[in-house]
Structure 1
Amino acid sequence: MYTAKGRLDINSMLQQYSPLVRRLAHQMIAKLPANVEIDDLIQVGMIGLNDALSRYDATQGVQFETFATQRIRGAMLDELRGADWMSRGTRKQQREIEAAVHRLEQRLGRAPHESEIAKEMGISLAEYQDLLNKVRGTQLVYLEDMNGDNGEDDYLDRHVADNDADPLHQLNDYRLRQALVEAIKTLPEREQFVMSMYYERDMNLKEIAAVLGVTESRVCQLHSQSIARLRVKLREW
């Protein structure tokens, strides 16, 4: 979109692509703790969109939406990283869940039930489910997990940049995806449904809850537990 003088109409572009910002924010918020506000992500995302508009070069052969998506996500991740969005205490509890899952899988030779994980952790089932809600920011990989050996190469350096032309990156990405597919197959059936609806069909928590006939809180618990199981599996990979 251009003005009568042939210049890029920034206001029109911001209005046109603001739904993209909201969509990316809603996709990200479901993976984050409850203390993260959706409006904060959208505001930061709009800054990323504005940055994309000022930096976009059509001669590079990249579609604007692809370029903008990287900038918007990058801005959101920068904000989250700077705000220390998951406390050390919460991450410690998250690791305790994963450790319990790992021990039980080794002992039982199968995916443990929620009640078994709670018992292994020495807490009640209700306490364990509350904990799953608390650690809903669980991710397959953390930003600091992705640091290089020298501590300088981080998530944004390697993932917001365009790696399509890097054969090694493509190979590693393919192997990770294959490992992830195999790991998802080991999940209990209901958790497989949640992961499929959320990541493959791009359904939100409310929609998944309606399909399964449970609350959004319960979907959140299932999602957190699924990610904990998958992190255990991917560590073996």
Structure 2
Amino acid sequence: MAYQTSLQSQTMELLVAYRQKPSVQLRNRLVRLNMGLVRKVAHRLTHQCAEPYEDLEQCGFLGLITAIERFDPSQGYAFSSFAVPYIRGEILHFLRDRANTVRIPRRWQQLSRDAAKARQALTMELGRQPNDQEIADALSLSMQEWRSVKLATTNRVPLSLNARVSSGHSQSDSAMTLGDTLMDVHSQILQANQEDRIELQQALNQLEDRTRIMIESVFFQQLSRQEVAKRIGVSSVTVTRNMKKGIDKLIDLLQQQQPNALQTEH
């Protein structure tokens, strides 16, 4: 919470200044200050695709810059909540473009066309839809290769968000679309906030007890530094000094957590 409050305060000050007088220097400072948003979104999406994390991160930075350009501090929104959809949207746009460039081996493309003809001929001959084994035999393919061809061709076709989702258990399932199953932006933000709280608590637990108590008293319990100093039995100057060191330590710990998670996955 202390780290987030400090980050939000610095970000908002720079956003107000950028809104009044845009400059590359201010924009770059805002990007550096909010790199964690990009890394968090890119880290989540890297598990859902085959693209390198670094490519997703670069696209995410483009989304962050767009959010910086469009954010209006007077609206009262938290910048992180405003920026995440832009970051995520830019990465997803990149992934959609990449999906359109996927190439199937030429031989498999020809086999897919031959399979369509074989299926039509077998349907007329058998009076029903042929099964996979019959199509594989007609093409002189092993069952394994035919399934690879079929899977590659199927995966090349993008799914519509209006496509019906059915578990096969009841007709009522067909009322749900693929889009209905996707997490909305509000849910994404709630999930991100929950993960942030967990990471923050883990970092707080690594601080010296007295420093942690000072930070929690001021930022969680909303006590003044003077009240904290009286409660602990030290001067308010000592509280301020210890809190500054503690917040700097928190920033270091939180910045270390993201790279470590990425190294574990890659």
Q: TM-score range by the shorter chain?
A: 0.3 to 0.5
Greater helix content: 2
The structure with higher relative contact order (CA 8 Å, sep 6+) is: 1
Tell me the TM-score normalized by structure 2: 0.39
Tell me the TM-score normalized by structure 1: 0.43
